[in-house]
Structure 1
Amino acid sequence: MELYGSFFHHQAGKLQALTMEERDHLLPIMRSAQWVEVVGRDAIYKEFIFKDFNQVQITLSTHDCGGLSQRDISLATFIDQASVL
């Protein structure tokens, strides 16, 4: 439960799309974690395959800012951590 609370607690505030500098820094990190950029859309995608659940496909983008935001990066990181529990 602590993992969930810490994620949602830090997500308040005005959402802004990632700047070019943030993208240049964060997207290579996301690619190294097997997140891919969605062609034709400002979003990231990853497919998870589990032994006991088959698969989950996730696409992240923030509607309020029209593309990727820090919230998407934080959620992707949270999902990666939760997927190994």
Structure 2
Amino acid sequence: MITKLTAEERKSTLAELPGWEPTVGRDALHKSFKFEDFNAAFGFMTRIAIKAQELNHHPEWFNVYNQVEITLSTHEASGLTQRDIELARFIEKVSAGATRS
């Protein structure tokens, strides 16, 4: 059974994931990234796609040229779970070279 994060888990998790913000109107996290160019943004997305496939947990995202917006939520739980946190931590590791947009 997949369970949502508790209020305390949310608070401590957000403290360790700088720039990730709650999504207005739903139980999700969101962050925007900006890269030098399209190639860097697409490479970033490719690394995430490989990890997401391994985890069988896929992000919602949007890309235009050098910008990538990512929203994480677990649809089966209708909200945030440890799956989202694991993927967010990975995203943070591979986001070197990105700036907050």
Task: Identify the TM-score tier after normalising by the shorter chain.
Answer: 0.7 to 0.9
Structure 2 unmatched ranges of 5 or more: 39-65
| Match of residue 90 from structure 2 | 78
- 1:23 equivalenced with 2:22 (yes/no): no
RMSD: 1.4
Q: Which consecutive aligned stretches of 4+ in structure 1 deviate over 4 angstroms post-superposition? A: none
| Match of residue 37 from structure 2 | 52
Rounded to whole Å, the distance in 2 between the matches of 1:23 and 1:35 is 11
- 1:41 equivalenced with 2:26 (yes/no): yes
Quick check: 56-65 or 19-28, which moved more?
Answer: 19-28
Q: Give the percent of matched residue pairs that are identical in Structure 1 and Structure 2.
A: 53
TM-score by length of 2: 0.63
Q: Which has the higher contact order (CA 8 A, sep 6+)?
A: 2
Rounded to whole Å, the distance in 2 between the matches of 1:41 and 1:75 is 18
